[in-house]
Structure 1
């Protein structure tokens, strides 16, 4: 079941289909089904038109999410230039229309994109999909900062981003649910300034299997750009270094390094692994802030498991 914020009931697929028909001239919806969202900030449905066309409609669940969605729309317009010019080897969603929401803001509609979610466990070493993932992420990191600045999305220096991570850790520590030994190890890493000397780059900010769509052994589409920012390149690599099969990681990293034009970051992999661990603290905070007892329990279990694993390793 999808988690909802403070018990909010998600919009039905039929409601979202009605918004899609209002947003796209000539669209006559014949079916609709709810789609999994990246989080509780947006309701999503897939709508099929009478001509067989498939559409995705996304509606924000609160004002801040609406502002984030608006910024993403602006970013997608800029990214399309890099897609059509061949700088990016994958496509991104392109907005076809929008419809106002009764409570304010608007729902956004785009054609359904091609590809299926990445099966990370199926990655293999060599020049195939694993290497393509590395190149895709590197290409995003090579984009000019202006694509983020023009969309009014966040831009951080390395020091600002480290401070941001420290604040998140302080909030997680305040819950009293982070194992003390794990907390001390994270604090030590975040206070080690040498670990955080990186060149900020354009990042997607929320990459995962659901956002990376593949077809024919390559990445064809990357979706959900609302968390894009200029920040730490480790953020976009963390999920792969943590979850990908060990023998595929070298192929990902090597292809990434070859695609980057200027890369002098000896602690990139170390930070990526740390970011992967800190994701558990962010999951805990999500559960605490939104009063989701099942999420909190899940986060606590994973934090305890990680604490045991890292103590054994040490």
Structure 2
């Protein structure tokens, strides 16, 4: 049982010490703060041989439980990587160190690659198409891979209800423009938009979790939000951020890689899911009493409302 207090955090030097305890023979020569911290303390440790290692330690009980599930999932994904089902690698845990307050820190080799530049995506058979295929490969995994790790699994109707609850909660803040709110509510009441087959989703895809090399996706990290849910979740950020001319290449490659895909409104739903991410950002700021986040979300919601006024 994890025994975290409200918040536990560690310095990079403390994380370096944990890494040497976790990986036999690792002689830490230098350390720097890692990225993607979130609810984790993250550091990159360089060993005597120049090899870089990533060490992650959870700050909260919830993060500790999510990390344990992620460790189990990463181990399960190894089979699908070895057999070529997944066309990229994922972090593989090399060792762990127990934490005084409970739980454990984990260490894996740092995967080398270039962070995805979404805005530079071009149409055609290159990186945009490979992104579509990589995401489709995740969605083709058996749902049991996630479910046996204790990660969440939702039906389509359950997931629609979750979205409705989020929008209702965001509406109560009084910060969602009325016309935008009405459009969201109309879309959520359109049951036909939410007829999809739940699949394994990464759940938290972002450019800095995708490493690319020579027009290929070579690694995907950050699997703590994996679940069985709406495939639109993994496409929403891409359709919102990628150049319009590259979106067709992404979706065409995705659809060709999927088997028995029957979801004619997937792209439409993905665009909506991307908009609803602003509601979740607003709620994050409200729940954690972060006024700067609340103001940022409010500004983006107003911009979105103006940009989509003709869709109301």
- TM-score tier by shorter-chain length is over 0.9
The separation in 2 between residues aligned to 1:190 and 1:271, in whole angstroms, is: 10
**CA deviation after TM superposition for structure 1 residue 31, in Å:** 0.6
1:16–1:44 contact (8 Å) kept in structure 2: yes
Instruction: Give 1:60 shift.
Output: 0.8
Query: What does residue 30 of structure 2 align with?
Result: 31
2:214 is aligned to 216
CA RMSD in angstroms comes to 1.3
Aligned match of 2:267: 269
Correspondence for 1:231 among 205, 226, 229: 229
Aligned to 2:97: 99
Using the TM superposition, give the Cα deviation of residue 38 of structure 1 relative to its aligned residue in structure 2, in angstroms. 5.5
Deviates more, 1:45-54 or 1:96-105: 96-105
| Deviation for aligned residue 1:279 | 0.5
Over 3 Å off, 4+ runs = 7-10
Q: Which residue in 1 is equivalent to 2:12? A: 13
Distance, in Å, in 1 between the alignment partners of 2:13 and 2:301 is 39
Match of 2:3 in 1: none
TM-score of the pair, normalised by structure 2: 0.96
Does the 8 A contact of 2:43 with 2:55 survive in 1? yes
Summarize deviations over 1:83-126 as a string: whole Å, max 9, x none. Answer: 01111110000001111222221111100012121000110000
Aligned equivalents of 1:145, 1:254: Cα separation in 2: 23
Where does residue 85 of structure 2 map in the other structure?
Answer: 87
For residue 147 of structure 1, report the CA deviation from its aligned partner.
0.3
| CA drift at 1:227 | 0.4
State whether residues 8 and 59 of structure 2, in contact with CA within 8 Å, keep that contact through their aligned partners in structure 1.
Answer: no
In the alignment, structure 2 segments of 5+ residues that lack a partner are 1-5
TM-score (normalised: structure 1):
0.95
> How do 1:101-180 residues align onto structure 2 when only pairs under 5 Å count?
101-180=99-178
Q: Which runs of 5+ in 1 are unaligned?
A: 1-6
Cα contact 1:114–1:220 (8 A) shared by 2: no
Q: Which residue of 187, 190, 193 maps to 1:192? A: 190
Aligned length: 307
Distance 1:9 1:72 in 2: 20
